[in-house]
Structure 1
């Protein structure tokens, strides 16, 4: 597509709040794209075609853009690159074909109303997404700005907080920021009963006695539902250090068990993705429950035996194999699918699997370590050390061998 699109941010004060330079861009457009609310706010222009966003947007937008020629202007709320259409257009056309003229974002306005410096408040978007994505950002004292889908979001977030033990959290709904109808509603999560306006930002001060599951830390074992099939916390930390989660990257968690590695991978970065592969139906359900409860409901699960079910899956940036490494062709299939520069980490607890890893290490290199963890426990009237089962860990970066 050769079309170039200029995206103009519009505040809640509409046309009257646009600077003269932005008005000139909008008035000079041959085609004006936008939501019906934005299009209706722009004064009539007989020589201008006006087109409301199609639905479904992502599926229909390429065909719409392909038939347009310039100048094309798209209207967006506030900063078009904050959960906005600007991001979608850049994904489709490339940054060289999109010019963004932002207004003050709703995030900036919300911080100003709350008196929260940028470095003191996180931002979580649940626009068109599951509210459980808030969960990885929760910890005592944390300040969050939640970009809401609609008027139902505050009640859903309040219910979520109460269920996790954060019922004392302060919730402030900042409605129609920057516009003549700007409003403010405030309560605690456990007392929430307000009716929110459709357009708002939800400010949250996390208070209470909920679990400290903040993004970036390795979770305690009891954060997961499991029946013993879990990569324990210390071993999980070692594996994740070598898997090296990164924004937008995909992990295959092969032999997922409770899904602990895949869940941790996705909690490390909001855009990180996981495909968990697990042959047992009861454990597939377990992985899904853990993913939903711990704030990564987008974790995908494939039920079936590896390596058979790996064919056709999107190529991973990292692979963790927590069990089943002795299956014929499994490690070869994982290695073959792995992208260049990708990381493979394999755990072994049996002598047979250790033999497989030792052979791989001798042939391909990488790093082979044996991990022993001992925990202090009561021993009569004293304290003694109880060793856990030793785990051998082979890790390698594709391109190192």
Structure 2
């Protein structure tokens, strides 16, 4: 378990890159409590603590399993040279517990540590950064089943989903697996390789497939398996605290610069481009969402502005390193409009996606991932290139949908004996009191 790692994974630390990624990891970690405020404000007063606890519960449970086996499953092959399982996941025991990442060697007067590739970043710091992505992805799903799910079952789901779905998908996209640009990936199978890499590589800069399509389709499956809240379609489930929603959106936007710009793993010109693209795409999405509200309802709402911000952040995430600022504005504008229209689909089709995870994360995640094929400055169709990038982006999005959808359904049905739903009385009187013996607000 603590066997020596190969010599070629040791190197000197680049303090600039390391500082950048440590700060970025802290920003991304903030996003999960921010999500708790965003989701908590959108629920009713009698369910706000449970909603926030689902995010905090994911933060606890996923962190533990990521340190134990999650990093090993996602990226272990890169450091150990042990290979992977059919391009889907690495050996969970190769770096179990992550202690091996603390190894160091004295080389002359310098100390060499286990570093991530050629970045000069300690592998422990890279692990910390990636850990925050895993936590947030699981927490995002919780919004689809607000106000009705047992906290204990949710924690078991968080561990099972991260292990069976998230870690493998992270490996497939970022760890050199099936959906990466490696010579063994889908893109290489479609279009061939040059120097061991796909001639047209998939682009997912910071998590369109791994985070948002993944969370969005999982949310849809879970909403279908768990079922509707009692009164869905007849009761007005209004947000109880819109300032919480706005605060959560603001903190998510702030943290997202670590999410996107940090994924460059260096404080360089590309990180600067990513920063500009992130703010441009997000602002344009807010405008797009509010425009739909204005023309449809004659009102531009605070919840709409906050939701538009999140839709834009979702869409720009996979694309932020590949677009120009103008392309980011267009991507974001479309994302905001699409998600504003898509959130009404739950009423048409009868699935209770309580806080619109499907309408925002799945729809904007799909658009952001596929839109790269149109808008990427070097390979996009609208910039005079052929359709190969669009084809690759579409294929990885579809594979991610199928992979997550099937496995999430299997997990959700397997957990049915534990009981997904709180009882009728608990749902009626308030899940906070039933599950946590607390209430958010004391009343006379």
Give yes or no for TM over 0.5. no
Larger RCO (alpha carbons 8 Å, 6+ apart): 2
More strand by share: 1
TM-score (norm 2): 0.24
TM-score (norm 1): 0.25
Greater Rg by CA: 1
